[in-house]
Structure 1
């Protein structure tokens, strides 16, 4: 099979899978994700962008999307996947109202500002990686606005000092680490995260905050 035929077959498979996935999510009122761009893989970046674009073409103002964006292993704070994602959003005219959850956010203050400046309702999920973040990443955690921060375990991959495997029951440990880094109480952080979760998942909860 020639390159052109393989490309056409790949695009047909992607189209069918994306349509089926989005149809299921919309019928169940589920969030879409986790989808995104993982550039720790050395190849297939154009294919990843093609797949992500097909999802973005089908996002409406009420679609909440969970995004996974990762730079190359040697540059975990890379701007490239973030900029590629924002370019897709803008180029495909994805609704400015569609909520976005940046899962396992590992970037610095500059990338937080980049996302906030888009005017989109973007939320930043901080995971157990907070226990081993670079200085720039720690600055990023401190720079997340109070009305945009979320906390997660990313079970079972990020033990952050607890016995493996990491499970949802360890979320309290992550809250403690994040609150200490941000210089606030666990209670204050938990209240903010609860409000933000209710806002991001307003479609699923059937209410607005």
Structure 2
């Protein structure tokens, strides 16, 4: 069994209606992908995402504001209500992105602080996006006592030093299809070093389709390709990696584990 630990099912162009989404999840199931974490990026889009995923018991949710969407605002009162939904197992996607939006740096930081505080308050792990903000990301997590709840640095593309700092705070490292790209040598070196009990796999669907699907819209079924590639890279069997990344997911997202009776 595999879990796509980070996807945006509500953003799939290939799933404009419920039946097409059912088909996509069934295709993923046929490749051994049993569960999915559908990640919120815009607070204004949470309700529609929640409603679209309501029929799928195998789909968990997060609630939060992405650093590239902070200009649309963060309503803490409303977010507090969203996280009461039993399918919401994490806070995020939150974090810092100075590569694409350095001009909103201060606003990103304040929204990040608020969401770390919320995660600690409601005892849910964080889903972190970080780009060109290594030192600040780790410092905000430390200062906000994020080690109390842990979380994951998703779609990881940073250095081993940052990965190690996050792991030391109780965080997990998630790898996407980027690791299969030709120019991902440094990332592959990092992925060989991440301990078994701290690794997750994801698609970040509909973005970043792995080889051999480059150029297509990414889909949750393709997490199988990511997992097979990483297993070979690390000198492990696919079955071994699938088992421990699944266990890692449920260890991190304990509310998801409760929902499925683990």
What is the TM-score with the length of structure 2 in the denominator? 0.64
Checking the alignment, whether the CA contact within 8 Å between 2:166 and 2:172 is kept in structure 1 is no
How many angstroms does 1:140 deviate by? Answer: 0.8
Kindly state the Cα deviation for residue 14 of structure 1 after the two structures are TM-superposed. 4.3
Pairing partner for 2:201 from 144, 148, 151: 151
The yes-or-no answer on 1:57 pairing with 2:109 is no
- Partner residue, 2:98: 39
| 1:100 paired residue number | 151
Counterpart of 1:168 in structure 2 is 220
1:57, distance to aligned residue in structure 2 (A): 2.0
Task: Kindly report which structure 2 residues correspond to 1:1-209, keeping only aligned pairs within 5 A, or say none.
Answer: 14=73, 17-28=75-86, 30=88, 31-41=90-100, 42-60=102-120, 62-71=123-132, 81-92=133-144, 94-117=145-168, 120-132=169-181, 133-160=183-210, 161-162=212-213, 164-206=216-258
CA distance in 2, matches of 1:63, 1:18: 15
**Larger-Rg structure:** 1
> Counting strand residues as a fraction of each chain, which structure ranks higher?
2
Unmatched runs of 5 consecutive residues or more in structure 2: 1-69
Offset of 1:91 from its aligned partner?
2.5
Count of paired positions: 185
Contact in 2 for aligned 1:102/1:125 (Cα 8 Å)? yes
RMSD: 2.3
Which consecutive residues of structure 1, in runs of 5 or more, have no partner in the other structure? 1-10, 72-80
Distance 2:173 2:258 in 1: 22
Query: CA shift at 1:86, angstroms?
Result: 2.1
Contact 1:108 1:139 (8 Å CA) reproduced = no
Q: Larger relative contact order (C-alpha < 8 A, sep ≥ 6)?
A: 2
Match of residue 51 from structure 2: none
TM-score, reference length from structure 1: 0.79
Q: 1:92-123: CA deviations, max 9, x gaps?
A: 3x252202111101123222222223xx3211
Contact in 1 for aligned 2:199/2:248 (Cα 8 Å) = yes
Distance 1:83 1:203 in 2: 30
- 1:24 Cα offset (Å): 1.3
